[in-house]
Amino acid sequence: MLERIVIVGGSLAGLRAAEALRAGGHTGALTIIGEERHLPYDRPPLSKQVLTGKVAPDGALLPIPDALGADWLLAARATGLDLTRRLVLLDDGTEVAFDGLVIATGARPRILPGAPPGPGVHYLRTLDDAIALAKDLSGSSGAVVIGAGFIGLEVASSAASLGVPVTVLEALPVPLERALGPQMGQAIMDWHLGKGMDIRSGVGVNELVLGAERPQGVRLHDGTMVAAETIVVGVGVIPCTDWLDGSGVDLMDGVVCDDKLRVLAEGKPVPGVVAAGDVARWSHPAYGQAVRIEHWTNATESAEAAAHTLLRGNDADPYEPVPYFWSDQHGIKMQFVGRAAPDDEVAVLEGSLADDRVVVAYGRSGRLVAALGMRRPARVMALQRAIGEGAPFPPVF
């Protein structure tokens, strides 16, 4: 009987799990432990509307239903998990007992060696990070963004919209290669260059050149100095699992779960313990492999699935979504569904990047596996359904 359910992680996944638990009939105690001082907020606006001032910081806060009835422990960091005694251990010595547990601790930015956060050097993950970066950009004569992933490109686009000259540095041959593949990564880079963005790919960072109060710039491996008063580093994230070291939970670039998001220990599900969001690496039935997905939609959907598993146990359905994410760059929404591989076939189904309106399909072994769209949301959603149904490639609209 799950009288006391504890959720470790006070962001989107934690909140959605709590809502799904209540909707699923849990009437007992519900405790949510959050490391930040803020109540849950939406992360997508941080690199866009909050950064540009279109949305005030408190405008990113998520609504919390009055009927949720949760006990919030904020500014509290989990430091350990005792599966035998069924306790979550906190940094102030508190022990929080549970019958059911949702692990939703998310991820933290990967720190570039020799580039810790400091005056003028930013990593964007939290609301406080966004507030500090927005303040810095308002008085900056120029910025360098290290990493041309989605966060890096969104930050660069936002900074450019504020009139701040921006240079984007990417170590890979093309931006977004891992997510979109080399062909579309090159196409997106060309699209950004056409918008006036300064992107330099295939370059390595040697050091950050720091002044007394602000950075002076970034020195590349070839000795080139790129001047900047503001430096933003976006080189990926690391799942927050340190607090689970020694707990017995299986860890491998995340918390290892089965296809129902049940947390594993020595390969077997731990009774009453599930995971959701960025921290969960689960066995995806449709892909036949373990995956970890760091996008907003997965945080929401996996939280709901994990809550259902906690309440229904073996009767819960496997969690096998067709992944979906979006990105806003230069004021244009880019949407992607499925999972791409470097050697996938690519076909433009309609439009063109030059016109900021396009639909691109990815195929593998004669099957549709992914799709990219700009300003074509209905088409992208139709292709998401088609991927789930095993449609052939190229697809027929």
State mean pLDDT over 100-127.
96
Q: Bridge partners of 40?
A: none
Q: Is 325 a domain residue? A: no
- 134 and 223 inside one domain: yes
Q: Which residue type sits at 119?
A: P
CA 356 to chain centre: 24
- 86 and 163 inside one domain: no
- 227 and 119 inside one domain: yes
Residue 397: what pLDDT? 67
Task: Give the model's confidence band at 179: pLDDT under 50 very low, under 70 low, under 90 confident, else very high.
Answer: very high
Residue (of 345, 352, 349, 369) closest to 360 by Cα position: 349
CA atoms within 13 A of residue 345's CA, in its CB half-sphere:
12
- 124 and 218 inside one domain: yes
**Per-residue pLDDT reduced to its tens digit, 261-304:** 999 999 999 999 999 999 999 999 999 999 999 999 999 999 99
Q: Is 29 a domain residue? A: yes
Residue (of 376, 359, 348, 330) closest to 194 by Cα position: 330
CATH number at residue 368: 3.30.390.30
Residue 212: what pLDDT? 87
3-state secondary structure of 105: coil
CA trace torsion 82, 84, 86, 88 (10° rounding):
0
Residue (of 24, 35, 49, 11) closest to 294 by Cα position: 11
Q: Please identify, among 183, 213, 235, the residue that sits at the C-terminal boundary of a domain.
A: 235
Q: Please identify, among 235, 255, 278, the residue that sits at the C-terminal boundary of a domain.
A: 235
Q: Are 2 and 311 in contact (CB under 8 A)?
A: yes
Q: Are 368 and 377 in contact (CB under 8 A)?
A: no
**Count of domains observed in the chain:** 3
Residue (of 89, 104, 96, 83) closest to 21 by Cα position: 104
Residue 114: what pLDDT? 87
Q: Is 395 a domain residue? A: no
pLDDT of residue 1 exceeding 90: no
Range of the domain at 8: 4-108+238-315
DSSP 8-state symbol, 214: S
The percent of residues above 70 in pLDDT, for the chain, comes to 100
- 258 and 204 inside one domain: no
CATH number at residue 227: 3.50.50.60
- 100 and 190 inside one domain: no
- 65 and 210 inside one domain: no
CA trace torsion 205, 211, 212, 214 (10° rounding):
-80
Q: Is 305 a domain residue? A: yes
Q: Which residue type sits at 83?
A: L
Cα separation, 149 vs 334, whole angstroms: 13
Q: Please identify, among 216, 235, 254, the residue that sits at the C-terminal boundary of a domain.
A: 235
Cα separation, 300 vs 42, whole angstroms: 11
- 122 and 218 inside one domain: yes
Q: Are 361 and 387 in contact (CB under 8 A)?
A: no
Q: Are 83 and 270 in contact (CB under 8 A)?
A: yes
Task: Give the model's confidence band at 33: pLDDT under 50 very low, under 70 low, under 90 confident, else very high.
Answer: very high
DSSP class per residue in 34-73 = -SSSSPPB-SGGGGTHHHHTSS-GGGGBPP--GGG-PEEE
Q: Is 210 a domain residue? A: yes
pLDDT of residue 80 exceeding 90: yes
- 128 and 41 inside one domain: no
Q: Is 98 a domain residue? A: yes
Q: Is 323 a domain residue? A: no
Q: Is 393 a domain residue? A: no
- 99 and 246 inside one domain: yes
Q: Taking the model in full, what pTM does it have?
A: 0.97
State mean pLDDT over 50-68.
96
Residue 121: what pLDDT? 97
**Per-residue pLDDT reduced to its tens digit, 128-151:** 999 999 999 998 999 999 999 999
Q: Bridge partners of 290?
A: 283
- 152 and 88 inside one domain: no
**Per-residue pLDDT reduced to its tens digit, 155-165:** 999 999 999 99
Estimate the crossing angle of helix 296-312 against helix 12-23, to 10 degrees: 40
State mean pLDDT over 236-259.
98
* Mean pLDDT of the chain, nearest integer: 96
- 31 and 98 inside one domain: yes
Cα separation, 339 vs 11, whole angstroms: 25
pLDDT of residue 320 exceeding 70: yes
Cβ neighbours of residue 66 closer than 8 Å, sequence gap 6 or more: none
Task: Give the model's confidence band at 77: pLDDT under 50 very low, under 70 low, under 90 confident, else very high.
Answer: very high
